[in-house]
Chains A and B, each alone.
Chain A
């Protein structure tokens, strides 16, 4: 890891230097919430944001995207691979860890070219944060980003302590050599202090150890019915979840009935259609099954990482006020 220091007075020029790598997206306040939006001026940023409504997964798996355009008559199709270069600025550790989970799904023995290309074309710059009452990343081990970013900015009193995890990240430091300095001992001391203090700020706690067994043993527990009765089945939790990545595929035919496109878009396991096959058989026909499936999916491990990063979005945005951690505490028998 390469460490460096960015002084607050040089922040704006550093930010502007990113522009030549692509469009810069950063956290921006949108009415009552926050979202990653294209940022044309550094003043638009809200770097002390608690969380965005839509997680940064949207940069890699688009809410809706074309896979290819086809011509049925000529029996041919044209793949549509985007080449746009993007800088995503100000990503929290939980979201960076969520992207690492998505990588495990999308870049493996059968890599998804669309996702992979976007990952290659995206610079990720992380930023340190403070937990609010919905955050429980500390519990699931994602409160710190070990890697998965190009640069990570840890706020200290007069600027940022920077970690560079990739070649691209190092390059960003190199091109800003006039404004980015070496880290001093006092910066390191403050970084340590702030990291320690941050860990004491968490209010919400979830015990992740053995959660997979607890979920499995709770297969017939009354908790699923209790919360399924509250749940609207709207799928908001899926849309705002940084690790939910189910997608559906649709062919859209143009009016000439010869040409069209194959598109995919985010899907939701809380919707009735998710387990439905042709002929009308549904493998998860009731909301109880769908809710249980979602909690089991989130609580399961993928290559040793739990599929939930503790960002709190599903609780914050649930219109039925279902509290994710509370459900799992009931599953564990910690509360009745």
Chain B
């Protein structure tokens, strides 16, 4: 970087007093980018000081803490104020934020307030020739853009599941710095009335290591139960291509693709999915792809690591049973 800089990570608290998985991924990336310089974490919530040790163990040298009842649950006004105050004071050269519902809500507004450069959907962030350069999929994944930041505050919104989480090292500690936060309740212009968990979801699709996904080839909503069974054995999340959503078989939040979610799991198992460009736009970044489809001409086979030409209704129960046996053998074997 033209001016060497500390790297900041905006922490996203999740349930249970721990940060969301993406936070650890960002801390790992921040350690790499900061080199000999320091990694700062900024965390805002009701009572979040207790996260400092965990953040330190995962690589933060300094933890900036904003605490207030107004900071939980997340609201745009309160968090932009808290995080913005912490950043404005330090004017860091690089800030990493996770591409989550809250991160995508917060980051652009923060950039506008701080007159910062911002790049969203980053699949990589690196320092090249003293510039911070990010890559991101664009044009429905028909292209990869390389984007360079200018000077000033730079905000990179990084996709989940592309960087490995930072390993914890015991014995590290961080300096804890309080962030001044004095906002009146009346200045927060949104109010979270209710958060209703979507029951089926064990792991959010965007954070899952394994995804089992179904398409038109499943023929009806009842057959998604076959995917649920396999997913349960694998500890996977269940998604879909667009046709099952359009047909009302599964809710909108299942959808992976251009008009749905972008996912980057280790393993993606596409069942009865033909592989329209609109679907590939959301999943072709998966590390390994298994396609199960009876049509040998289906475009999904063009990108599948393992292409199973066969009937999903025959293959899925067999696969589920084999995975179940394997997992129970692994458990028995320790």
A and B held together in a complex: no
